[in-house]
Structure 1
Amino acid sequence: MSRKGAAGVERPRTRGRSTGGCSTGAPTLGKGRDAMSEAVTRTVTTPPGLLASLDPLLREWLPRQRWFAGKGRPVTGFSPVAVTELLPSTAKLGLYHLLVRAHQPILPGHDGPEQPGDCYQLLIGVREALPPRLAPALIGHVTQGPLAGRTVYEALHDTRPADLLLEALRTRARIGGLRFERDPHREIRSGLVPRLVTAEQSNSSVVYGDTFILKLLRRVVPGTNPDLELPLALARAGCLRVPPPLAWLVADPERPSGAPQPAEPYVLGVLQPFVQGAADGWDLALRALAKGEDFVAEARALGHATAEVHTVLARALPTVTLGHP
């Protein structure tokens, strides 16, 4: 049963599930009437050599992705930031969450010094073979290491991994170093059909039944992220101009050896209400111009909305007054 604190807010139950530090089977997320207030914790381990077995395939696949920032320079290797098993590879469907740094030469066309570059978030599915509907998601066939003989693919194209992410957010799961957080005062429905949005350039989004949209950041950095910080500040201040964050995904990497402080967490994704028919203000202006329609009233409304958002942010967040140079 849930317990209520002094303020009358339900405190989530936490269930620790580990078998000698190893995960067994798929995570059990949110069973029972009070699943929405239930936090599920699972300790996981990762097969040795997992990243090495994926390395040759990822070197070819990653630069072809629209959200990859290192265009024009070859990927020469990877270093792991965090690797989490979400579904074991021994099952019919395996699933791994990876945070990896892509190593690239500093200058294109040079064989000189390399550096660990940007950190990318990957969701890798593992199957014996892909059904035709998942053919566009293919990364490749693994020939070495713990996944030898299996097929790996971009798992966001698959409904079950997308379902798992929503359920983990809904139930405030913790799997390895991944924390699935949520606003306890807002409802998150389950059982919604997911679909991957294919038009984005720098990130990836999954829409759930035209009700929610989960934005997964691809190139991630440790520390505060405006994709979460700003809408969260607006929601807490009561501003309705921006859809409020309902839940968010954070990674807590292991503390580096000898470091006095824990490593800063990575914000990986934000779940918000899906606004159907929403359009960018610039696109609206171009459409009106193309049709020869007046855009004055809409421009004024956009200006008022922008001013309101910035005014609320100025009250909700620390500000600095800059002087003249």
Structure 2
Amino acid sequence: MSEAMSQAVTRSVTTSPVTSGSVTTSGHGLLASLDPLLREWLPRQRWFAGKGRPVTGFSLVAATELLPVEGKLGLYHLLVRAHQPLAAVQGHVPHPGDCYQLLIGVREALPPRLAPALIGHVHEGPFAGRTVYEALYDPRPAEVILEALRSQARIGGLRFERRGEIRPDLVPRMVTAEQSNSSVIYGDTFILKLLRRVLPGVNPDLELPLALAREGCPRVPPPTAWMTAEATIEAGTDEPYVLGVLQPFVQGASDGWELALRELAKGEDFSAEARALGRATAEVHTALARALPTVTLGHLQLQSLVDGMTERLEAAAQAVPALQPYAPALRSAFEALADLAGEGETWTAQRIHGDLHLGQCLRSPAGEWSLIDFEGEPAKPLAERRMAQPVERDVAGMLRSFDYAAHSAGGPPAPEWAEACRAAYCTGYAEVSGRDPRTDPVLLRAYETDKAIYEVLYEARHRPDWLPVPLSAVRRLAGSAPV
């Protein structure tokens, strides 16, 4: 980063008229001027969680000026709460008032290379006559964030921390693939994941990789740096917001989902990779069990788990009529688990990944697998995402992912390919953990059923053309006994 830009980062601490945690009149005027543009732009973003419901307004949680707008380029960091009416069916649907992290760039006019980043042209307020855009597309704002991390800056209510060295002058580029958050790669050395929907509190996407780094687990890239925002009065808690995590970039790595689809399209067997991925998953679970407390789930805890699964089934069946014929058989998977708990059986629970699938896995050019994105399901409260759970939940997520891949390679479904991968994954898991997940069929079936129900609801709302994929699993799970 240039010396001038470093000075701008420092200067913004003292000259900013809008600071995080104490919103000023100019902060409200800023948001009011952006309101009509954000109402159009925000719902179109892949990471916006409230699709299908109108945005009725915004409130400003925090704002920080990172580069003054008087120059050729202005940069603002905003935490904005988007207000929406409650959905008719809850389940995993977010409540109104989700808080989003926005990085707003301000220019007189956008160069052609930044056309995809356009938010709109402002007609009133502090940005009147200027153009605002998604700043992460622009290398200069991305450099500001990296320099703040490198220098462990304090800018308004923003805090930048690091535990490793960061070389300056790394060239940034935004990852343009669809994601539930946003990522910037710096010189093939680091990748910064910026969380879009944020909550105050300990975020597992930082908490768990730090714990695994302390254990020396090589299957998860250790955090090099992270950024947080101070607690706000509006949030009603003294917990900060975790905003982003910088980790080593695995250069040349293959995304597990894309790799599986390529191999399937070529007619190649994926069992060896699935087995290695099972081993990697077990290594991570074993390290998490060492690093963080485990608990025993008895009758009351299992009944609560079963009640939650049953409620999600009932809500999904109301929302998706195609699910209703299978509901009684699916409910039996949960009842079988409740019966075992009632007979006195217990299970060990620990911290897990929480949203494990092929897209959360990377294979290095050397053939080593890594697990990434420990955020869990973003629609769920942080407290729920941080709960100890049986490892079978992660396993079930990966088993469902193999099934999705078998239906997504462009050709006819390949159930035999999926079954071979599922078996190999469990075998690899057992080789490290000493316990094959298939030896607990009732628990594994319950979790896989719960995941398939979630997928049905998601696809019905967001990708109706994909609905046959989880419905095929529903038919299989409804017709199968625990095996």
Residue 45 of structure 1: which of 10, 17, 20 is its match?
Answer: 17
The alpha-carbon distance between structure 1 residues 283 and 140, as it changes in their structure 2 partners (threshold 3 A), is closer
Aligned to 2:296: 321
**More helix, by proportion:** 2
Aligned partner of 2:272 in structure 1 is: 297
Tell me the equivalent position of 1:158: 138
Partner of 2:174: 196
The one-character-per-residue Cα deviations of 1:231-259 (angstroms, maximum 9, x if unpaired) are 111111111111110000101133359x6
Q: In the superposition, relative to structure 1, how do residues 90 and 41 fare at CA in structure 2: closer, same or farther (>3 Å)? A: closer
Q: Per-residue displacement from partner, 1:189-217 (whole Å, max 9, x unpaired)?
A: 11111111010321110011111100001
Residue 159 of structure 2 is matched in structure 1 by 179
Report if aligned partners of 1:155, 1:161 keep a CA contact under 8 Å in 2: yes
Equivalent in the alignment of 1:207: 185
Residue 64 of structure 1 deviates from its aligned partner by: 1.0
Q: Is 1:67 aligned with 2:86?
A: no
Structure 2: runs of 5+ lacking an equivalent: 1-6, 19-25, 89-94, 300-340, 342-483
Q: Is the 8 A contact 1:27 1:42 kept in 2?
A: no
The 5 Å alignment of 1:174-323 reads 174-183=154-163, 186-256=164-234, 262-323=237-298
Partner residue in 2 for 1:8: none
Compute the displacement of 1:321 (Å).
1.4
Bigger strand share: 1
Give the corresponding residue for 1:26. Answer: 8
The separation in 2 between residues aligned to 1:256 and 1:106, in whole angstroms, is 20
Shift of 1:291: 2.7
Give the C-alpha shift of residue 45 in structure 1.
2.8
- Distance in 1 of aligned mates of 2:238 and 2:62: 12
- Written as runs of structure 1 = structure 2, the 5 A alignment for 1:107-122 is 107=87, 116-122=96-102
Deviations 1:157-179 (A, max 9, x none): 11110000001000100101100
Counterpart amino acid of 1:205? S
Residue 289 of structure 1: how far off its partner (Å) = 3.3
Amino acid at match of 2:17: T
Residues 1:116 and 1:297: Cα distance change in structure 2 (over 3 Å): closer
Structure 1 residue 126 displacement after superposition:
0.7
Aligned residues of 1:178 and 1:252 also touching (Cα < 8 A) = yes
Instruction: Determine whether 1:82 maps to 2:54.
Output: no
Which of 108, 125, 133 is the aligned partner of 2:105? Answer: 125
Offset, 1:76 = 1.6
AA at the equivalent of 2:57: G
- Structure 1 distance, partners of 2:202, 2:15, is 26
In structure 2, distance between residues paired with 1:59 and 1:289: 41
The answer on whether the counterparts of 2:174 and 2:185 sit within 8 Å (CA) in structure 1 is yes
Number of residue pairs aligned between Structure 1 and Structure 2 = 280
Q: Distance in 2 between matches of 1:42 and 1:274?
A: 34
Answer yes or no: is the 8 Å Cα contact 2:200–2:231 preserved in 1.
no
Q: Tell me: CA distance 1:41–1:57, structure 2 relative to 1, closer, same or farther (3 Å).
A: closer
Structure 1 partner of 2:128:
148
Q: Please give the root-mean-square deviation of Cα atoms over the aligned residues, in Å.
A: 2.1
Aligned equivalent of 2:37: 57
